[in-house]
Amino acid sequence: MTFAWKAAGITYNRYLAVAARVVRRSLKEDKRLIAERRGNQELRFAKWTNGKQGEIKNLAQANQAAAVESAATGGQ
């Protein structure tokens, strides 16, 4: 017996994201707004070199910049 999310061809993390969105949308207006704000997260990272922390960057912005750079160089 396979799990429904596996049979649908999605990852478990994607399944959890969809389930969380469905639950948030089913809440009453006041609770829904609070839950939606909690669902938006901002991830940041820093590259460490020689034991020193580098600049802290926003993950979404870094991914977008990398995608633009990759497209400009032809994916090389």
Q: What is the pTM of this model?
A: 0.45
Q: What is the pLDDT of residue 53?
A: 93
Look at residue 59 and tell me whether its pLDDT is greater than 90. no
Look at residue 52 and tell me whether its pLDDT is greater than 90. yes
φ, ψ (nearest 5 deg) of residue 41: -125, 150
Q: What is the pLDDT of residue 1?
A: 60
What average pLDDT does range 46-52 have in this prediction?
92
Query: What is the three-class DSSP state of 71?
Result: helix
Distance CA 34, CA 27 (A): 10
Q: What is the pLDDT of residue 38?
A: 74
Here the tokens at position 38 are 């909690």
Look at residue 74 and tell me whether its pLDDT is greater than 80. no
Residue type, 33: L
What average pLDDT does range 36-65 have in this prediction?
84
How many residues in total does the chain contain?
A: 76
